[in-house]
Structure 1
Amino acid sequence: MAVADSGCGMDETMIENLFSPFFTSRKTGSGSGLGLSIVHRIVENHNGGIEVQSNTGDGTTFYIYLPVVAEPVAV
């Protein structure tokens, strides 16, 4: 699955810290910095992965990979 935006993009430093708990690019008090950290953990707990492509000024695309399950899973 791919999720993309056409925003301002991210530099390499921001990408390196993107999934760290409490990391945020917003002003103090404007976000907890937990959203992408939680998403990353959920995807990894389901044996998946996330890739990020971003350049400053070009927007960002997240690629989320999850395995195909052959048998139904009890919820």
Structure 2
Amino acid sequence: MKPKATQLSFCSRCGDEIPPDELQFLPNTSLCAFCYNTQLEYRDIHHSGVKISKPVLTLVPQNPKVQDSNAA
């Protein structure tokens, strides 16, 4: 009996290899388990109808010309 050939699959979102063990549970997926779970969580949050009143993350621009206060 020939050993079964392993199919290498890569996640379409992050590019990581999807292990054969994960492919047993999600045979027709193009996402790794982490990205799949992230997508499910996003859908749960998006479809829950909860409105977020303020941003979760605030981006602060960096000033490349910040002077070091210890420099003399």
| TM-score exceeds 0.5 | no
Higher fraction of helix: 2
Structure with the greater relative contact order (CA < 8 A, sep ≥ 6): 1 or 2? 1
TM-score (norm. length: structure 1): 0.28
Higher fraction of strand: 1
